[in-house]
């Protein structure tokens, strides 16, 4: 008697697909594309934090690595669009191997060690001019083309981002329902019991970092084409913190939550622009208030509200106790 969990997702997808048909404003399309890219980032973070419980503040670094690798390949060697995205993802994944020694750290120690990684990567981007253009940034990233057709128009690029987001979403969904995803959840909920079931912690965690880094790298590649100019100041550790907020705000552990969280974190400051001086204050207050939603997140609250609103059968109770259902 429950609403099929796929239905809200399907509706959301249709709306996302329709956005450029309804909204032609370049600014909004630009910001929505940015939100889609952020959603990819947040999905990677959800794998780390929501599924495996690994509080990593290194995602911003992988995002930067992906962006610079994709951007540099496109700008300097004319590598085609999709290949540069793949290269960005792979480079980030390769860089994640550097984190293997620290995956055994927990909680705060892991967070701060990965924060340190973010800072180091930022400094490399800033200081290695020969590689990244240094503080003056990486310019002249060409417009993206797909099989010889330009996909640089705001609406087309938006759809490209959306397709990649959907692919990543489906991938994460499949992972979460696989042996690997179960192992990560098990690690998250009880490491000792996971070991007692034969799960190798360091191995699984390293793989988790690798997949999340790849995702962030692809998002970085998209960002390179979205902005077409990369500057070190877009890849500070603040980025990592923002990604963490995205994953939590929508609903920890929920894939839809990650997407919604990314939209909130990207769109809210833009919507709040009209409030002028108070903009960031309101944003900060909103973040604090949303945290009161607990682990339900926005998606959990929304489905709760929906369930209440429509008096949907008897499912309300199940929605509360199982926010995961709602994603």
* Least distance CB 153 / another protein (angstroms): 11
> In this structure, what is the dihedral angle of CA atoms 303, 301, 307, 253, given to the nearest 10 degrees?
40
Question: Which pairs from 10-14 meet CB under 8 Å and 24+ separation?
Answer: 12/256, 12/259, 13/166
Question: 183 near 201, Cβ under 8 Å?
Answer: no
For another protein, the closer of residues 77 and 277 by Cβ is 277
**Structure token digits, residue 106:** 């927990």
Phi, psi at 223, each rounded to 5°: -60, -40
Quote the CA–CA distance of 254 and 321 in Å, as a whole number: 14
For another protein, the closer of residues 68 and 180 by Cβ is 180
Could you write out the DSSP letters of every residue in 87-124? Answer: HHHHHHHHHHGGGGGGTT--HHHHHHHHHHHHHHHHHH
* Least distance CB 83 / another protein (angstroms): 19
Question: 213 near 96, Cβ under 8 Å?
Answer: yes
* Least distance CB 106 / another protein (angstroms): 7
* Least distance CB 241 / another protein (angstroms): 6
For another protein, the closer of residues 84 and 215 by Cβ is 215
* Least distance CB 253 / another protein (angstroms): 8
Half-sphere exposure of 272 (CA within 13 A, CB side): 16
């Amino acid at each position: 008697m429950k609403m099929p969990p796929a239905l809200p997702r399907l509706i959301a997808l249709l709306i996302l697909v329709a956005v450029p048909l309804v909204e032609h404003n370049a600014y909004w399309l630009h910001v929505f594309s940015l939100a889609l890219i952020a959603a990819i980032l947040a999905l990677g973070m959800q794998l780390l934090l929501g599924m495996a419980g690994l509080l990593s503040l290194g995602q911003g670094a992988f995002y930067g690595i992906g962006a610079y690798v994709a951007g540099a390949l496109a700008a300097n060697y004319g590598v085609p669009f999709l290949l540069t995205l793949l290269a960005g993802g792979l480079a980030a994944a390769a860089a994640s191997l550097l984190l293997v020694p620290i995956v055994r750290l927990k909680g705060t120690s892991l967070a701060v060690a990965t924060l340190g990684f973010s800072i180091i990567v930022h400094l490399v981007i800033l200081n290695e001019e020969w590689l990244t253009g240094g503080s003056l940034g990486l310019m002249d990233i060409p417009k993206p083309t797909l099989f010889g057709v330009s996909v640089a128009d705001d609406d087309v690029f938006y759809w490209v981002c959306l397709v990649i987001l959907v692919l990543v979403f489906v991938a994460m969904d499949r992972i979460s329902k696989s042996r690997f995803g179960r192992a990560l959840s098990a690690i998250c909920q009880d490491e000792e019991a996971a070991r007692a079931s034969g799960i190798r912690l360091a191995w699984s965690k390293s793989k988790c970092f690798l997949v999340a880094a790849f995702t962030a790298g692809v998002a970085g590649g998209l960002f390179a084409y979205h902005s077409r100019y990369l500057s070190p100041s877009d890849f500070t550790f603040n980025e990592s913190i923002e990604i963490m907020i995205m994953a939590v705000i929508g609903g920890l552990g929920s894939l839809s939550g990650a997407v919604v969280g990314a939209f909130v974190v990207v769109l809210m400051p833009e919507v709040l622009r009209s409030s002028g001086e108070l903009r960031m204050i309101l944003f900060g207050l909103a973040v604090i208030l949303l945290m009161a939603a607990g682990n339900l997140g926005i998606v959990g609250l929304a489905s709760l509200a929906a369930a209440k609103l429509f008096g949907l059968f008897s499912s309300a109770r199940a929605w509360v106790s199982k926010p995961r259902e709602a994603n």
